Amino acid sequence: MNNNTKIKNETTSLGGVPAVGDAYRAWLRYAPLLPDQAKEYAPWCGKIVVASSGTAPLLAPAVEELAAGLGSMLGREPRRGQAADGEGCLVVGTLDSAELQGVADDAEAKALGDEGYVLRTVDEPGRRFIAIAGRTDRGALYGAFHFLRLLQTGRPIADLRIAEKPSGKIRMIDHWDNMDGSIERGYAGESVFFREGRFLEDPEDRKRLRDYARLMAAVGLNAVAINNVNVHEIETKLITPELLPSVAKAADVFREYGIRLYLSINFASPIEIGGLSTADPLDPEVKRWWAERAADAYRHVPDFGGFLVKADSEFRPGPFTYGRDHADGANMLAEALEPYGGIAIWRCFVYDCLQDWRDRTTDRARAAYDHFRPLDGKFRDNVILQIKNGPMDFQVREPVSPLIGGMRHTNQLLELQITQEYTGQQRHLCYLVPQWKEILDFDTHALGEGSTAAKAATGELFGRPLGGFAAVANIGSDLNWTGHLLAQANYYGYGRLTWSPELTSEQITDEWARISFGHDPVVIGTIKRMLLESWSIYESYTSPLGIGWMVNPGHHYGPNVDGYEYSKWGTYHFADSKGIGVDRTVATGTGFAGQYHDVPAARYELPESCPDELLLFFHHVPYRHRLKSGKTVIQHIYDSHFEGTEKAEELVKAWRSLEGKIDEERYESVLDRLQLQAAHAAEWRDVINTYFYRKTGIPDEHDRKIY
Amino acid sequence: MNNNTKIKNETTSLGGVPAVGDAYRAWLRYAPLLPDQAKEYAPWCGKIVVASSGTAPLLAPAVEELAAGLGSMLGREPRRGQAADGEGCLVVGTLDSAELQGVADDAEAKALGDEGYVLRTVDEPGRRFIAIAGRTDRGALYGAFHFLRLLQTGRPIADLRIAEKPSGKIRMIDHWDNMDGSIERGYAGESVFFREGRFLEDPEDRKRLRDYARLMAAVGLNAVAINNVNVHEIETKLITPELLPSVAKAADVFREYGIRLYLSINFASPIEIGGLSTADPLDPEVKRWWAERAADAYRHVPDFGGFLVKADSEFRPGPFTYGRDHADGANMLAEALEPYGGIAIWRCFVYDCLQDWRDRTTDRARAAYDHFRPLDGKFRDNVILQIKNGPMDFQVREPVSPLIGGMRHTNQLLELQITQEYTGQQRHLCYLVPQWKEILDFDTHALGEGSTAAKAATGELFGRPLGGFAAVANIGSDLNWTGHLLAQANYYGYGRLTWSPELTSEQITDEWARISFGHDPVVIGTIKRMLLESWSIYESYTSPLGIGWMVNPGHHYGPNVDGYEYSKWGTYHFADSKGIGVDRTVATGTGFAGQYHDVPAARYELPESCPDELLLFFHHVPYRHRLKSGKTVIQHIYDSHFEGTEKAEELVKAWRSLEGKIDEERYESVLDRLQLQAAHAAEWRDVINTYFYRKTGIPDEHDRKIY
C-alpha cells in the first residue's frame, strides 16, 4: 500500500482561520450540558471572583477560560465579581489572598508546591463558594482547568476536597517541526509554528498557537520545544538575534499559559554560525560563544527554558568529534544556561548507525546504557538526560530502557512518542495510554520493589532536583490537530499522565471520551473499548512478540519483514528457516538483559520467565517453541495476524454502530480512517503470514489462506 | 549501502565551459597518431575538397570535423582546396558532383539510400584522392566520421572500398530529462538541455550541446527526444509557442549534424493546457487541437521529428480514459503530424501497475503483447510502436519481448536502456553491448529461422516502411558525460549497433578501446576483457537465473530480495522454503511462454530446454533442481555470488595493472568506481546468499561464509 494514500476531508490544512468546530476545540469543546447537570452546577457558577495578593498574570487566562467554558456549558457566562458572598460563586486565586484565607492550612499549602492547587467547596453561612486556588497563580490556572473538567465529565461539585500537584517538574512536548513547515514524523498537516522558513505570525496563526497553548495547559503541560531535534541550516539560527525576536513572540503566547519555550540546538553551531573553527565543548572560545547565545536568548525570552540537544546521534554533530564525552557537551551548555535558571536537555538516543548487519556482537539495544551509565554523577544539576522509553526506538512493543532507573545521580526525562511513527501514523487507531501505563508502572527494582519507571523519571526515586516527561507531539495544521480525530486522546492522555502517572488507562479514557463525545453510555462505552483495545489490535497484526521493525524503511509505514534486516541501523530479526529473534541474554547473547536490575534481568534472561510479548526481543527461538499461551511461535504469528485483522474490521463495525449518535463530520472522518486501517491490517496480515509461511514451510493449523 | 555514496572528482557538473580533456572529448578525442601511422595517412590528408552539385548543408560540419580531427591526429590541419589533383587529397561530397563522377556506379549509389556513403581510394594517374561520398550530404557526413574512425583505430586507407548504409531508418536517443534539470534514472549529473525550468542557452551550453550532437552523429544516430516520457507540468508546454522558440534553437544545433528533434508529449495536454474538457482522441476538438500543435511545432522546427508518447502507463494519461484504444490514440497524433512528414512514436510499456501480489494469474510479462498484438494492422504508417527489449523492464537479464517480431503490419522501434538503471547505475562497470547483441541476434522465428529481433525492429523482416532503435541516454552534465568513464562505451556501442547490428561485441569494443585509449596492446587487451566480461560479472552477483528485480524499490540500487515481492508492480520471485521462480509456461503457468513463435515458445516451455540463465523467469523450480551446468539452483546462487564478487575484485586489479599507462585523471576516476563496485558486489553477495541460506537452510557445498 502506498504511504500517500489520500485521506478525506478533515485533514485539510488550515490556510488561515481555524474553523471552530468540535474537532478543532478538542478537549476544550465545552459542550452544552444537559439541563439536570446544568441545574446542579449553575448555583456555583454565576460569578467569578479573582483573589490574589500580588501580581498573578496566570489568573487572567484562568478566569477567561472559566468564563468561556462555563458560558458554553451552562449557556450563561458568569459575572465577574469583587467578592464572594452568600450566593455561591467561584473564587479563583492564590491562597495568600484575603478571600482564600483558611481554605487550606499551611501544611496543605506547602505540599502543593509551585504548581499544585486545591478545589474546595466552602459552604458556610455567609461564605459560599468554590475555591480554585494555588500557592501560585500557575496552580490556580491548572485548578481552573481541573474544575472545568469536572463539569465536562459530569462530576459532582457540591463537596469538593481536591488537592493536586504534578508528579514531575518538567512536563514537556517536543515538536519535530522544521522551519520549512514540514514536520519530521508528522501525520497531521504542516507545522503550526513555521512555514517556508519563517515563523507563522499572522493573527490567525497566533490565535491557533494560543489555542494550542490552552490545550497544553489544560492537561498540565508546562514546557515546549518548538523545533526539530535534527536542527537544519535555518533552524541553527533560532538562537541568534536574527530569529530570537520571533522566538520571543512565540514564547509570549506560551507564557500566558505557564509554558516555557525551549529550542533544539545544533551542537556544531559555533562553527556553522559562530565563525569558530571548533565546537569542542572544553574550548574557552566555544564556551564563551555559548554563554553569549544563552545571554541573547534570555534577553529576548526572560523565562526561556533552555536547550534540547541531539548530539552524536544519527549523524548529528557532538562532542565525540573532539574526543569529549556527553557530560562534557551537556555541562558546557548547562553552564551557559545556569545563570538564568535554564536547563540543558541532552538526548540519550545514541547508537552506532553504521552497523554491519553481519555483526551479531554489536547490539543497538545496549547503546544508550553503555554510553551514559558510566557518566552517572558527572552531569551538572541543570542537565537532564532525555531517555527514550525503550532501548530501540518507539516500537509498538519494547522493554523499558534499562537506563531509566539505571542512573542514581543524574536527572532524567522519560521520552515518549505521541506521534504514531511506528504505530500506524494516525491512519491506524492506536491509543497509546495503555502502552505508556505499562512503561510508567514498570518496576525497575532500582531500589527494590516499587521502583517504578515513573518514579525514576520524575526524580522521586533518587531524590533528584529535576525530572519529568517529554514526548514528541502528534499535532499539526490539520483542522482537528491530529489527523485521526481519535489520536487527540493520545495527546490528552500523555498530558494527564505526566501530571498523574497513577491514573489508570480506564480513568483517562473515560475522561477523554466524555469530554469529546458527551455522556451517552453506548457511545462512551463503545469508544472506550475501541481505544483501550486498539494498541493490542495494532500489535497483533504488525511485528510479533516484541521483535519490532518489519516496516518499510524511511517512512516506516506498512509491512516489510526484511525492510531493516540487511541495513546499517542495528535493527534485525535474524529469521531463518528454523527460528527467529535476537539473543540478548547474558549467557549466550549480547548481554543486554544484564543491563537491568536483578529482578527484571533474571526475568528476561530465560525464555521460560520472559513474557511472551517480549520473547523475540530477548531470545532467538525455534518456530515450534511453545509460548506460555500454549501456542507455538509460528502458530501465534498466524493466529494473531488473522485475529488482529478481524478485530480491525470490528473497529469499523463498532464505529458504524454509532452513526447518528455523533456529529456527522467527526463520524465520517473517523470512519474513513478505520476503513483504511482495516484494509491495511489485511495487508500486514498477508505479508507477515506469507513471509513466515514461505520461510518455514510450516502450515497454519487452521488452514486459513496464506499466499 | 547508501545510494548517495560520494564518488570523487570527475562527476563534478559543468558550471559553464566544458573542460576539454580526453574524458570530455570521448570518441572524438582524436589523439595524436604515432609517427609511423601519421606517415601512412598524411599523403591523403593534406587537402580537403568539397564536392556537391547543390545545397548540401551537412558537408560543412563534415569538413569541419575532418579538419579538426586530422589536424589533431596528424599535427597539421588540412588545406581546403578547390579541386582534386594528382597529389592526394580527400574529396568530400555528393555522388552527383562533377568531382565524384564514377566513384560509385548507379546501382551502388542507389543502394546507399539517403544516409549511406562510400569511402573509396581513387588512385589513377592524375586522379589521386579518397572519396568520402554519399548520395546525400548526410551520407557524406557519416562517411567523414567513418573515415576519421579508420585513422583513430589505425586501419589502412590506401585501398578503401567501403560502402555502408544504416540498418534502420530511425536511430534514436531518448532523454528522460526534466526541465528542472533533473534526469529520471540519470547517473551522470544534471540535464545538458535544461536547468531550473528553462532551456540552457548560454554559449557554453550551446557549445556542449553541439559537442553532444557531434558525438551522436559520429556513431550514426539521427533522432533525439529531449524530454522525459513522464511529461510533467512545465514540459507539457514544450509544444506551445511559449517554449517552441527554445525548442527550435536546440533543434538548430542538432540539425547541423543531421539529427531530428522529437518531443515527449502529455496525452492530457488538450485538457491541461488546451482548455478543453476532454482528451478523447476521437473528439473533433481534440483532433483539431493536436493538428494546431503540430502546425505550431513545424512552424518553429521545419524538420521536427514528431511526438513520443507514454500513455496509459504507470499512471500517465491515455486513451483508455475515454474507452479508446492505443491505436485510436496513436493514429490521432499521427494524423496531426502526417502533413509535415512527422511520426508518432507510441511506447508499449503498458501494464497493470496496481497489481495484487497475491494474484498469480496476472502476469506483467504478458502485458505489452496482450495489449498491442490485437491492434496489429490498425496503426497508421507514420506510427511506430516503441517496444522495450524485454517484457519486464530493462533487467540485467530478460528474454526478448515476444512483441518484437510479433506484429507484421506495424512499425517497430526496439527500445534499449543505455542508462544503467538496473545494471549498476554507472557505479558498476556493466558494458551492455554483449547484452544488446544477444537481443538483436535473438531469433524470433516469426518467418522461420533467421528472423532476428534486429530485422524485426528495422522493418526489414516484414518490409515495414519505418523502424529502428531507440535507447534511453546515459549522459548528463558530468565532465566525462557518463559519470563512469567506461560507460561511454555503452553509448558508443549503442550508436554503432543501430547502424550495423551485425557488428560483433568484439569489434565494437576494440574500436572504442582504441579510440579512447590508443594502441598499447596490454592496455587495449585489458580494457576489452574488462568490458566484455562486465555484464556477466554484474549478472553473477545480482539476481540469479533471469528472475530479475531483488533491488531496493524506488531508486533501484543495491540488493533487496523482497524489495518488490509484496508490491503492486507485478515483479515477484515467489521464493519459499522449497523453490523459486515464476511459472510462465502454457501448461501450468501464466502462459507467457506461448506468446513466442513456435521454436522459442517450445524452448521456453520446458525446464529441460529453457536456457539456465532464464530458468527462473519461466519456471518455478525446487532449489535442488539441477541446471544444465550440473549445479543445483541453490549451489549456483552461492557459487555465482562468490565468484562474481571475486571477479569484481579482479576488475580492480586489472585496472590497477594499467597505472601509468593511462592519463592519471581517467585512471583515478575509473579506479574509484571499480573499488566502489567491488565493495557493493560484496554487499550483494552477502545479502543474496544470506537470504537464500536463511530461507532454504541448505548449506553451501564449499562451506564459505554466509551470515
Termini Cα distance of chain B: 17
Segment A367-404, tens digit of pLDDT: 999 999 999 999 999 999 999 999 999 999 999 999 99
Tell whether B525 is covered by a domain: no
A687 neighbourhood in chain B, CB within 8 Å: 566
Tell whether B5 is covered by a domain: no
Residue (of B464, B468, B484) closest to B476 by Cα position: B484
The enclosing domain of A685 has a CATH number of 3.90.1330.10
Indicate which of A1, A314, A567, A694 best probes the interface with B, i.e. most B CBs within 10 Å of its own CB: A694
Q: How far apart are CA B633 and CA B626, in angstroms?
A: 6
Tell whether A590 is covered by a domain: no
Q: What per-residue confidence (pLDDT) applies to B411?
A: 98
Last residue of a domain, one of A164, A197, A227: A164
Residue B419, CA atoms < 13 Å, CB-side half-sphere: 24
Residue (of B195, B191, B296, B286) closest to B248 by Cα position: B296
Which residue in A65, A328, A421, A539 is the catalytic one? A421
B696 neighbourhood in chain A, CB within 8 Å: 577
Q: What per-residue confidence (pLDDT) applies to B635?
A: 98
Q: How far apart are CA B484 and CA B10, in angstroms?
A: 9
Q: How far apart are CA A673 and CA A652, in angstroms?
A: 9
Say if the Cβ atoms of A695 and B576 lie within 8 Å. yes
Q: Same structural domain for residues A280 and A390?
A: yes
**Is A393 an active-site residue?**
yes
Segment A303-339, tens digit of pLDDT: 999 999 999 988 888 999 999 999 999 999 999 999 9
A258 burial (CB, 10 Å; 0-12 / 13-18 / 19+) is buried
Residue A388, CA atoms < 13 Å, CB-side half-sphere: 23
Helices (H), B342-473: 367-372, 433-441, 453-458
Number of neighbours of residue A122 by Cβ within 10 angstroms: 16
Question: Could you please report the per-residue DSSP string of A499-526?
Answer: H-TTS-HHHHHHHHHHHHH-S-HHHHHH
The enclosing domain of B51 has a CATH number of 3.30.379.10
Q: Same structural domain for residues B206 and B157?
A: no
- What's chain A's average pLDDT? 95
Place of cell 490545550: A215
Say if the Cβ atoms of B358 and A576 lie within 8 Å. no
pLDDT category, A86, cuts 50, 70, 90? confident
Q: Same structural domain for residues A327 and A283?
A: yes
The enclosing domain of A285 has a CATH number of 3.20.20.80
**Is A96 an active-site residue?**
no
Q: Same structural domain for residues A114 and A198?
A: no
Query: Could you tell me if B353 lies within 8 Å of chain A, comparing CB atoms?
Result: no
Which residues, other chains included, contact A304 with Cβ-Cβ below 8 Å and sequence gap of 6+?
A: A251, A260, A261, A262, A263, A297, A298, A340, A342
Q: What per-residue confidence (pLDDT) applies to B21?
A: 87
Domain membership of residue B679 as a residue range: 541-582+620-696
Q: Same structural domain for residues A330 and A225?
A: yes
Tell whether A563 is covered by a domain: yes
Query: What letter does residue A263 receive in the DSSP assignment?
Result: E
Say if the Cβ atoms of A357 and B559 lie within 8 Å. no
Q: Whats the size of chain A, residue-wise?
A: 707
Residue (of A138, A118, A147) closest to A56 by Cα position: A138
Q: Is the pLDDT of residue A9 over 80?
A: no
Last residue of a domain, one of A164, A187, A220: A164
Which residues, other chains included, contact B673 with Cβ-Cβ below 8 Å and sequence gap of 6+?
A: B7, B426, B427, B428, B429, B484
Tell whether A10 is covered by a domain: no
Query: What letter does residue B443 receive in the DSSP assignment?
Result: B
Q: Is A413 helix (H, G, I), strand (E, B) or coil?
A: strand
The β-bridge partners of B194 are B199
A361 neighbourhood in chain B, CB within 8 Å: none
Q: What per-residue confidence (pLDDT) applies to B2?
A: 39
Query: Could you tell me if B628 lies within 8 Å of chain A, comparing CB atoms?
Result: no
Tell whether A521 is covered by a domain: no
Q: Same structural domain for residues B567 and B451?
A: no
Tell whether A7 is covered by a domain: no
Indicate which of B361, B562, B683 best probes the interface with A, i.e. most A CBs within 10 Å of its own CB: B562
Query: Could you tell me if A697 lies within 8 Å of chain B, comparing CB atoms?
Result: yes
- What's chain B's average pLDDT? 95
**Is A421 an active-site residue?**
yes
Work out whether strand A47-51 and strand B47-51 pair parallel, antiparallel, or are unpaired.
unpaired
Q: Is A16 helix (H, G, I), strand (E, B) or coil?
A: coil
Q: What per-residue confidence (pLDDT) applies to A20?
A: 65
Local mean pLDDT, 10-residue blocks, chain B (707 residues): 41 40 95 93 96 94 97 95 89 96 94 97 91 97 98 96 96 98 98 97 97 98 97 97 98 98 97 96 98 98 98 89 96 98 96 92 96 97 98 98 97 98 98 98 98 98 97 97 98 98 98 96 98 98 97 96 96 97 98 98 98 98 97 98 98 98 95 98 98 98 97
Tell whether A704 is covered by a domain: no
Q: What per-residue confidence (pLDDT) applies to A335?
A: 98
The β-bridge partners of B132 are B92, B119
Residue (of A329, A220, A193, A337) closest to A266 by Cα position: A329
Quote ipTM for the complex.
Answer: 0.90
Q: Is the pLDDT of residue A6 over 60?
A: no
Q: What per-residue confidence (pLDDT) applies to B10?
A: 37
Question: How many domains is chain B built from?
Answer: 3
Work out whether strand A161-164 and strand A117-124 pair parallel, antiparallel, or are unpaired.
antiparallel
Q: How far apart are CA B464 and CA B406, in angstroms?
A: 13
Residue (of A117, A118, A44) closest to A81 by Cα position: A44
Q: What per-residue confidence (pLDDT) applies to A607?
A: 97
Q: What per-residue confidence (pLDDT) applies to A457?
A: 98
For residues A414 and A404, the answer to whether their CB atoms sit within 8 Å is: yes
Q: What per-residue confidence (pLDDT) applies to A630?
A: 96
Say if the Cβ atoms of A577 and B575 lie within 8 Å. no
Q: How far apart are CA B386 and CA B349, in angstroms?
A: 8
Q: Is the pLDDT of residue A85 over 90?
A: no
Number of neighbours of residue B443 by Cβ within 10 angstroms: 17
- Report helix angle A633-656 to A664-696, nearest 10: 160
Q: Same structural domain for residues B242 and B387?
A: yes
Q: Same structural domain for residues A160 and A174?
A: no
Query: Could you tell me if A184 lies within 8 Å of chain B, comparing CB atoms?
Result: no
CA angle (A83, A84, A90) in 5-degree steps: 110
Q: Whats the size of chain B, residue-wise?
A: 707
Q: Same structural domain for residues A422 and A566?
A: no
Query: Could you tell me if B357 lies within 8 Å of chain A, comparing CB atoms?
Result: yes
Q: How far apart are CA B63 and CA B79, in angstroms?
A: 11
Segment B394-441, tens digit of pLDDT: 999 999 999 999 999 999 999 999 999 999 999 999 999 999 999 999
Q: What per-residue confidence (pLDDT) applies to A245?
A: 98
Q: How far apart are CA B697 and CA A578, in angstroms?
A: 8
Residue (of B13, B395, B397) closest to B188 by Cα position: B13
Q: Same structural domain for residues B215 and B294?
A: yes
Q: Same structural domain for residues A458 and A570?
A: no
B561, B562, B697 member nearest A576 (Cβ)? B697
Q: What per-residue confidence (pLDDT) applies to B86?
A: 80
B577 neighbourhood in chain A, CB within 8 Å: 577, 694-697
For residues B540 and B640, the answer to whether their CB atoms sit within 8 Å is: yes
Residue (of B385, B463, B472) closest to B436 by Cα position: B472
Which residues, other chains included, contact B305 with Cβ-Cβ below 8 Å and sequence gap of 6+?
A: B223, B224, B225, B260, B261, B262, B342, B343
State the SS3 of A622-680.
Answer: ECCCECCCCCEHHHHHHHHHHHHHHHHHHHHHHHHCCECCECHHHHHHHHHHHHHHHHH
Q: How far is B622 from chain A (nearest CA, A)?
A: 13
Please give the C-alpha separations between residue B209 and each of A550, B13, B26, B31, B476, in angstroms, as whole numbers.
48, 14, 14, 22, 11
CA B545 to chain centre: 24
Q: How far is B65 from chain A (nearest CA, A)?
A: 50
Query: Could you tell me if B707 lies within 8 Å of chain A, comparing CB atoms?
Result: yes
B697 neighbourhood in chain A, CB within 8 Å: 576-578
> Averaged over A30-38, what is the pLDDT?
93
Question: Could you please report the per-residue DSSP string of B15-77?
Answer: SSSPP-SHHHHGGG--PPPPHHHHHHHGGGSSEEEEE-SS--TTHHHHHHHHHHHHHHHHSSP
Last residue of a domain, one of B140, B164, B188: B164
Q: Could you tell me how many CB contacts below 8 A there are between chain A and chain B?
A: 47
Q: How far apart are CA A489 and CA A432, in angstroms?
A: 9
Q: Same structural domain for residues A238 and A287?
A: yes
What amino acid occupies position A435? Q
